Structure 1
């Protein structure tokens, strides 16, 4: 009987010590890790959302132009409303690229391969510089789309699409960077 009591006592003390050790040392680390991973995934999702906003706002700005001043089908009120919408879309581009450059360390560093990190960093810096540049609006929109579409596909496209277009997307991105920098592109 004393052996049974001793065995139960040792088992109870072991369980209490184990529970305390896990509660004091393991659980806080796991909670902190879960929080960090949640923040990384939130930043990645926001990265993708801002790229989609750049694509959609750029496409809308390209497709919906202000009418000519003498166009009889447009009233001054409608011209003003459309101008306001276009200004709002331009502000969305500014806000999206500002977020991309301000948070690049959070989302870019979350990918395991250095070429993906560099791809995200190069993208964020270049789209922000395009928005800040003194280029014509049409040129800015073309450059934003040319930079964003291949990057969006490589980070958020279907896996088969990523693999299928990996080289073409890298080439298109590099050619757009060369165009921005004024370098001649190789055939």
Structure 2
């Protein structure tokens, strides 16, 4: 099947009906303010799409202004370390023509203690998943060792909105 240049909203009902994607379990595991939207099997792992929890309200991202947005200023962290191998697979999986809707705030590959998540600080509207790759590669190249790493990039331009983007082992906490 070829899903390029289709939105998740267009593909998701068919994917669920055919069993390619399955609906997510009920709100989850202590991830503050986010719930699982849907899960897509990718090789030996699952790719999990996280959205704002009902009633939490979407965090408004900063609109583009005169400040320096698009610079992807990277800061590394020693906490919330994610596997280098899983993050490599996540970044490669994002480099498609698939569009994600307004709701996702995080996409994770892997399971529980062995996952890598790309997350961003606010709603940015519908965009291609591949828009997340540039900052993720910058974080990865700066912050990851042969085994693991974690970091964020400030002043990331996603869909003409300035956000912070994170690459770590958790779907939440990117601000």
Q: TM-score range by the shorter chain?
A: under 0.3
- The structure number with the bigger radius of gyration is 1
- Normalising by structure 1, report the TM-score: 0.25
Give the TM-score of the pair, scaled to structure 2: 0.26
Comparing both chains, which one has the higher relative contact order based on Cα–Cα distances under 8 Å and sequence gaps of 6 or more? 2
Report the structure, 1 or 2, having the larger helix content: 1
More strand by share: 2
